[in-house]
Amino acid sequence: GAVVSQHPSWVICKSGTSVKIECRSLDFQATTMFWYRQFPKQSLMLMATSNEGSKATYEQGVEKDKFLINHASLTLSTLTVTSAHPEDSSFYICSASSGRSDTQYFGPGTRLTVL
């Protein structure tokens, strides 16, 4: 149980284009989903927290107009990187939780490369 998927697993795009990453909880209802970014040999950095049906809460320094997050259902959240630039190249990981005190279950990650 507690499986989270991400799609795509990797994506290469040109600078200036937008990329959408999907995060799905396959066998449980995720009231809260989290989006992280991880650069090589660094820790996971929380970008935003989203609750189903409400606006995402972004961490300090994360541009909400650049990283659009939608959590339209209890099993799906999307992250759209708008007008991507090479510095946005990173490993993006989502996680899902069914409640405040529950463990987060992570997706396999999406490797974004912006040329």
**Contact flag: residue 73 with other proteins (CB under 8 A):** no
CB atoms within 10 A of CB 85: 11
List the one residue from 43, 54, 65, 87 that touches other proteins (CB under 8 A). 43
**Contact flag: residue 104 with other proteins (CB under 8 A):** yes
Tokens encoding 57: 């809460």
11-19, 39-47, 62-70, 72-80 -> range binding other proteins (CB under 8 A): 39-47
CB atoms within 10 A of CB 78: 19
**Contact flag: residue 96 with other proteins (CB under 8 A):** no
**Contact flag: residue 105 with other proteins (CB under 8 A):** yes
11-19, 28-36, 62-70, 79-87 -> range binding other proteins (CB under 8 A): 28-36
In one-letter notation, the amino acid at residue 27 is D
63 CB-side CA count, 13 A: 8
Say if CB 71 and CB 55 are below 8 A apart: no
Nearest CA-CA partner of 92 in 2, 1, 8: 8
List the one residue from 24, 25, 34, 71 that touches other proteins (CB under 8 A). 34
CA distance 91 to 9: 10
> Where does this chain bind other proteins (CB under 8 A)?
4, 6, 32, 34, 36, 41-46, 49, 57, 91, 93, 95, 97, 100-101, 103-109, 111
